[in-house]
Structures are given as C-alpha cells and as structure tokens.
Amino acid sequence: MDTPPLIRLTAVTKVYGSGATALQALKGVDLSIAAGDFVAIMGPSGSGKSTAMNVLGCLDSPTSGAYLFSGVHVEQLGRDQRALLRRQYLGFVFQGFNLLARTSAQENVELPLLYRGEPAKQRHAAARQALASVGLADWAHHTPAELSGGQQQRVAIARAIVTQPAVLLADEPTGNLDTQRSHEIMDLLWQLNQDHGITVLMVTHESDMALYARRIVRFVDGLVSSDSRNAHPTALTTPIAGAI
C-alpha cells in the first residue's frame, strides 16, 4: 500500500476581496508532498507561489478546496488550531532573517520554545544543539549585529528547527545573500533534509538554488504549470563547520 502524502492540496482556491475588485490568487491548485521531500516552488511575481506557501504554512486559509496535513483537514480548523499546528509541526525561514536585534543568537533560537512554555534548562540545551547543527556553536552569545548575513540566516534556520518540525518552509532564504553565502545556506538546507529527514518547501526565484531541491514545482497564473523531479540535486559541497 502506498504511503499517503504528508501534505495534499486538492482544488485549492484563494480569493482576496469581492465583487469587481476580487483577486483570485489560486485557481484550483492540486499538489501532493511526501514526507522527507525537498521541493522548490518557483514562478513569476503574481503567479500564486507565495499565496500557496502561506496556505501551506497555515498563515492563510483557502477560500475553497481541501488542505490535508498528515490526514487532517486543515481548512476546517479554527485559528487557534491552525496556530497549534504551526507551533508543533512547522518551522519558518524568511528572506529578512527576522531576528531580534538586541538579543543573542541563543536567545533568538529559544523564542519558539519560550512561546511553548518550555522550562529554561530545556530551552537552553535545545538552542545550543540547534546552533551547533548549523555550525554556530561558538557564536551563541553574539547579537545579530555581530554576525554576517549568512550567519544571521543560519541563526534563523536554527530557530526554525529548534522545535524539531516536520516541515521547514523557507521563503526566498538566499534572497539577501551573496553567491557564496547562498550556497552555504542551501548546503545547510540540503543537509537538514538529507540527514535529519526534515521536509523542505522553498520559494525561490533563483534557478541555481532550486537545483538543490529534489523536485521543482512551477506556478503560473494561480495554477501549478509544471511539477518535475530533479534527477541530480546539487549535493552538499562543503561540510557545515561544527555541524552534528
């Protein structure tokens, strides 16, 4: 028997506004994602890729259609239930890092656990482990201003994985980085997917970054226009220093 997908969108639409000014951002999207996959989501501006990511991340609800996560109908959940699903199963990485400026790397990484009400001792240990896994064990007490852009994005990734999520959603994770730092971040995402089994969903406009994914899904005009496997994903090229 085939294993059901971790994520399934069926005929998902998303409409903003109403009447003559209504904007249909998604027009009936069908998409299935298996646990442990690494999917790059691409498409021009206005194609619906960011809206789809917001729906997948439980940051927005579909207007119609079904969204199943591990067999649960997410579109039927209330706001509090969607928030609980986000906290328990999803991690987020954004283009702009979104770190607290006057807070150390370790304290930034601890934030999701603080919101969960985890005891301080467990928070500290989990944050140290997450920072070590992204090669920043020795930078735990530095503030974002004392870190490079690549290091800041690694802190953001550590914060996203400290809760041990099933899915990591990355929205243009290399958009603010130079080429070398971009490849370092993509190597890290590949390693988290390959070695830790985290399902990675990444929105990107950079074709060379998409080549790290096992699968490339392209959106056009609110629909999936193509969905192809990448036979030769870009492999890890440089070991992550201090990674576990």
Looking at residue 41, what is its pLDDT? 97
For range 54-59, the mean pLDDT:
95
Taking the C-alpha atoms of residue 202 and residue 127, their distance in angstroms, rounded to an integer, is 23
Only one residue has tokens 């530095």, namely 142
Q: How confident is the model at residue 242 (pLDDT cuts 50, 70, 90)?
A: very low
Task: Please answer whether residues 120 and 101 qualify as being in contact, where contact means their C-beta atoms are separated by less than 8 angstroms.
Answer: no
For range 185-199, the mean pLDDT:
93
Looking at residue 145, what is its pLDDT? 95
Predicted TM-score (pTM) of this structure:
0.90
pLDDT per residue as tens digits for the range 61-86: 999 999 999 999 999 999 999 999 99
Looking at residue 236, what is its pLDDT? 52
Residue 50 vs residues 33, 57, 83, 217: alpha-carbon distances, Å = 17, 10, 19, 13
The torsion region of residue 142 among left (phi > 0), alpha (psi -120 to 50) and beta comes to: beta
pLDDT per residue as tens digits for the range 77-132: 999 999 999 989 999 998 888 899 999 999 999 999 998 889 999 999 999 999 99
For residue 91, give the nearest of 157, 153, 29 by alpha carbon.
Answer: 157
Averaged confidence pLDDT in the chain: 92
In the predicted structure, residue 244 carries a pLDDT above the cut 50: no
Q: How confident is the model at residue 231 (pLDDT cuts 50, 70, 90)?
A: confident
184: which 2 tokens? 């370092």
138: which 2 tokens? 């020795």
Identify the structural domains of the chain with CATH numbers, from first to last.
Answer: 34-61+80-229 (3.40.50.300)
Taking the C-alpha atoms of residue 58 and residue 73, their distance in angstroms, rounded to an integer, is 12
In the predicted structure, residue 25 carries a pLDDT above the cut 60: yes
